[in-house]
Amino acid sequence: MTDVVLDGVGKVYPGGVHAVRNVRLHIADGELFVLLGPSGCGKSTLLRMIAGLEEITSGDLLLGGRIANELSPRDRNVAMVFQNGALYPHRTVRGNLMFPLRVAGDDPAEAGERVVELARLLGLAGLIDRLPRTLSGGQRQRVAMGRALIREPALFLMDEPLSSLDAVLRTELRVEIASLVRSTGATTVYVTHDQVEAMTMADRIAVLRDGAVEDVGAPERLYRDPATVFVAAFLSSPPVNLLQATAWSVQDAGMVLELGPQRLTVPWQDPRAAALIGHHGRPVVVGVRPDVLTLAPPGGPGPALTGRVRAVEFHGDHWLAYAEAGIPTVDANAFGRPPEPVAARAAGSLPSGRLAARLRDLLGRGAAEPEPAPEHEGEHRRSDLMFSLPAGTRPQPGEQVELAVDLDRLLLFDADGRRIASNRR
């Protein structure tokens, strides 16, 4: 039984970088748990502290109920796979898989059987006598994983194991890894900056930012009901519209959200209206995912926003449209950062603020790699309202549109970027 408890764990590197701040998590026995966040947010540091490769500055780590802060890596029964799982170049696949068992002094015949069985599970049966240099990147990574798993560790730690592979292979392998580690029953902590990887693989995800946990839960819950603006934005592709609003209590209607020149009303019978009362006259942030907006006939009865289409992009199964709606938007990175600045950020990490916004624009908004440029028409701006449309429909740039809003799926945050009230669905 190996569950992992992080009880107020922190890490300050020499030089004063607060890489991890007061992390409290309970990772259950057998769980596939993902640490997700942008580059430099402290994921690897946290994983390395669990592995025993990095000293813990404050707080406690418990493995299987026992304090493990001072345990050597060997005594933790953990196995780790890195981005470029290094293999012994002069050993075959069989030799690489066999090596940990040989070191442990296992019976050679039994070890041989285990190796063959694991190679089969990993789809490497036909390659068992090949050398690493004759394998593809994906096959090599499978061998690295097999070598970590063969000792049947109680705890399996993976640090971005797929990030050096191409997109097709990543998609294929993430399914395989998830089912493989689940079949072993090992508690698994998996680090990634890729929200799709996290959402598709995890039992639960912890979203980290600047060393602290912003939210933790099952993928579906995090997506439906994110605790902060940052989590809503990070788990969103296409990006969520983050609209700046002022909340007003209106007696016979409900809580009116004033969005520039437009309005949406959360009626009194909606339980979230009561939570919004405390924000009367104050700024709030309204998160609207593009699929919460649907093209509607003008003047329809339900809640709606209007806009003028500025650009459309073809994404295969749907169009993504950008409309000028006159509603001010906000930057997810502007909210709720920890008080002290993070002194020296990772070389690959992005700074915050306007430069970051510019960089993200250039990089395609996400923390992950930019998406391939879709077919598009017209120009769009960062403040435009994004909405998605089924592939059959295609509004033209310049067209005036009315967009029905699924009120139940609005995300409501306070001025600090924290959830005001949970979503109903």
Residue 42 makes contact with ligand ADP by CB under 6 A: yes
In the complex with ligand ADP, the residue whose CB is nearer, 213 or 292, is 213
What value, to the nearest 5°, has the Cα angle with vertex 289 and ends 283 and 290? 125
Residue 213 sits in the site that holds ligand ADP (CB under 6 A): no
Q: Which is nearer to ligand ADP, 1 or 343 (CB)?
A: 343
Tell me if 342 contacts ligand ADP by CB under 6 A. yes
Q: How far is CA 334 from CA 330, 331, 357, in A?
A: 8, 6, 10
Q: Which two tokens stand for residue 118?
A: 């694991």
Tell me how far, at minimum, the Cβ of 82 lies from ligand ADP, in Å: 11
Number of H helices, E strands in the chain: 10, 21
Question: Is 195 a residue that touches ligand ADP (CB under 6 A)?
Answer: no
Single out the residue of 6, 19, 401, 411 in contact with ligand ADP (rule: CB under 6 A).
Answer: 19
Considering the rule CB under 6 A, would residue 40 count as an interface residue with ligand ADP? yes
For residue 101, give the nearest of 66, 142, 149, 60 by alpha carbon. Answer: 149
Least separation in angstroms between CB 364 and ligand ADP? 19
- Residue 39 vs 422, nearer CB to ligand ADP: 39
Cross-strand partners of 307: 401
Asked if 209 is part of the footprint of ligand ADP (rule: CB under 6 A), the reply reads no
Closest approach of Cβ 19 to ligand ADP, in Å?
Answer: 3
Cβ 7 to ligand ADP shortest distance, Å = 19
- Number of residues near ligand ADP (by CB under 6 A): 16
Burial of 51 (0-12, 13-18, 19+ CB in 10 A): middle
First-to-last C-alpha distance (Å) of the chain: 35
Token pair, residue 144, equals 């690295």
The structure tokens listed for 24 are: 């409290």
β-strands 304-314, 400-405 pairing: antiparallel
232 near ligand ADP, judged by CB under 6 A: no
Distance, in Å, from the CA atom of 41 to the CA atom of 208, rounded to the nearest integer, reads 6
Interface pick for ligand ADP out of 5, 6, 17, 119 (rule CB under 6 A): 17
Among the listed residues 345, 394, 409, 418, the single contact to ligand ADP using CB under 6 A: 345
State the Cα torsion 293-297-298-302 to the nearest 10°: -60
| C-beta closer to ligand ADP: residue 19 or 293 | 19
Residues contributing to the site for ligand ADP (CB under 6 A) = 13, 15, 17, 19, 37, 39-45, 342, 344-346
